[in-house]
Chain A
Amino acid sequence: MAAASISTGRPKGGAAVWDFISKWGLITLLVAFPLTYAGIDLANGDGLARIGNNLVAGLSNGAIWALIALGYTLVYGIIELINFAHGDVFMIGSFTAFALYSVVGLTLATGPLGLVLGLLVILLLSMLVCGSLNVMIERVAYRPLRGAPKLAPLITAVGVSFILQNVGILWFGSSQRGIPDLIKAQQELFSIGGVEVSRADLLAVAVTVPLVLLLTTFVNRSRLGKAMRATAQDPEAARLMGINVDTTISLTFLLGGLLAGAAGLIYALYQTNVWYFQGFTAGLIAFTAAVMGGIGNLRGAVLGGLIIGIIQQISDNRIGNEWTPAVVFAYLVLIMVFRPQGLIGEETREAG
């Protein structure tokens, strides 16, 4: 994973050239998207406010995807499994958060102090619920399959995903459900040169940044974090060094779940809308983000999340809402073809 370099050393010679070209080619492609539209705007005399708004919305949406992407990347880094159910764990987090609104007694009339305290409580509870859910899933569905062919845990993950979605359907029904706009998410906080920053944007950043920092510190500095990195690098050797691989894996799932739970609450506050199917779509997007940044790489996941968020918003705004998934996935394919290790990922054991 991230900080300690577990790569096989920097590529040399011809490979280094290709590495350089692909990296900067990719960056150019990504940057070209907003720049082209900025250019068009300026040419039309419209100013940069529109693209600025897209960027701000993209960053805050992207923060949510980043949190979920971290969960994917952590799990993949340690056991090389695409945890299909992770998006649905996020959905359960949103549902839990919404359910807790009334339990904690938060309504549209609650004052700011009560709101903040209440939301903190809900944040912790959602995180715990999702964390434990994730650990339980690992224990029940993935651990028995460690020796099985790669595809088996993939299918199990899908099965778990279906089960979670059904739980969602039974919990809040099969339609999208509007939920109270507790923090008045769309209300503008301030505006710089026509670019609006709303409360929701601030919320997304305010929750994500500390969590990501906490996570990276934990992974890089703590003993358990070191155990995680060791297991990711070479599980056999880790075991020989006395690391309890099973516990470490469970811990990884726990961390992923905690982040998904936090993302769930932010999503609920930001979108004011929950749906049993949101996890599936969010999962695909977050997974794309993780891959884009470099799977197995924490900074990559965050970067990927933000980038995808921006691409989505620009595509929504310029090309059309219904084409956005195609645009996002087209970028994914480009990255996979030309630079499978993602933007900043090192070579993991599986990439090309």
Chain B
Amino acid sequence: MRKVLGKVLFYAFISIVAFLVIVPFLWMIGTSFKAREATYTIPIRWIPERPSLEAYQAIFSLTNVNFLRATANSFFLSFIMTVFPLLSSAMAAYAFAKIEFRAKRILFPLFLATMMIPAAVLMVPNYVLLNTLGLLNTYTGLLLPSLCSAFAIFFIRQFMMSVDNAYSEAALMDGASWLRIFFSVMMPLTRPALMTMGLFNFMGAWNNFMWPLVVLYNRDKWTLQLALGNMGNQFGNFNHYLMAGALVSLVPIVIVYLVSQKYVEQGLAIGGLKA
């Protein structure tokens, strides 16, 4: 009996919390179908008076920015900004976690310190740098600064440190190279951490606004966030367009999240996050 009550309370509680989280989205959906009427009204209108698909038709036929193209761009960009930084961070984390070398004591804090540098400090100088290198308006230019990610290095290092060294040491003494150990031992064992970091990288790249804004000129190269932000600017009062756009842009990312969930869960459970 007690158990049933406990379960009911649990479901009630979690449902209330979930409801609070979701309610704004319900309003978003309703608003996206409002056309010739005010968005904000007293009292709140959940269901539009004169529902219309105008907003959805509009976002898929924008002249300046192709919404679908922007979505594809975001996927591509987020993907390369997940994989490459992940590789470079894993390599660095490996060095810090597993290889004993003198410079470690200076370099690791140096990397950590970069986490504290405000983005504001770096933006304009990095922009000028890309301009000199002729990398403006390219995805390469966008990608390069993110190759050094102290956060990722820190995170992955923690996981690697908790992997037992016995097997690796034996292999090393038998003549295996550090590289070999990296690829055949460390990477598989820290896959969960890598998947988690990969998800974080992806989300970060997906949501990034300022840096792509100043680096990418071509509308064709624009990411989804830029397209949405631009819509926000152009459509000031056409809130229904913004809502429709925001909702549409959620769909792909939810799919990515669902797919990666499985791996992330597994991994986090195994690795744990201990200092």
Do A and B come together as binding partners?
Answer: no
